[in-house]
Amino acid sequence: MIIVNFKNYKTGEEVLKLAKKIQKYNKKIIVAVPAINIKEVSEKTNLQTFAQHINSKSGEKTTGFITAKSIRNAGASGTLLNHSEHPIYFDILKKTVEECKRYNLKTLICSNSLYEVKRMLKLKPNYIAFEDPKLIATEKSITKYNPKSIRKFVKILKGERIMPICGAGISTPEDYEEALKLGCRGVLISSAIAGSKSPDKILKKLRY
């Protein structure tokens, strides 16, 4: 499993252009795009599309909030939550996950420590992504610089119906393959693809 988090590396027409390029190389990759681009990407590609964040608020009187209902209706099938660049208090995260389940949205919760991973287990998301925030966007892969923690992370999720994902510094096909060897079921990638001027270099070699 590979999830590409676009963050805001790409905006406007660039988002769909990159999504189509990703689809050209691998139709199984999941793309997490800005909320404003979800409808366009989900309609004009066959890629599974995730939101980058959803608020716990629901209902019609929610000015400025990104609701699970609106994301689902736009064509998203899931969302990232609690990314290190957009952390959420645990009680709010719990409500958000419940709201996502209400609209049949998959949830990928990011965790920056093994302690946090253990807390997130209680929420029963579809995926938990373990990321070392110090390595994000550094091209220093967590698989190389912190493999011990990944093994511990995978062990924590053993027996759970939650897919272990790792991220932070993942920038080569070898990083992805190493993540699988360490026991993860997939990776979360961002700058190596979304922030690259030549994403083709990694996309044409990234297979699963």
What count of other Cβ atoms lies within 10 Å of the Cβ of residue 165?
Answer: 25
Amino acid of residue 41: V
Point out the catalytic residue in the list 53, 99, 131, 178. Answer: 131
Point out the catalytic residue in the list 53, 83, 99, 178. Answer: 83
Q: Let me know if 131 is a catalytic residue.
A: yes
d(Cα 69, Cα 105) in Å, to the nearest integer?
9
Report CA-CA distances (Å) from 85 to 110, 111, 204.
10, 11, 28
Question: Quick one: which of 85, 117, 100, 80 has its CA closest to 5?
Answer: 80
| Positions marked catalytic | 83, 131
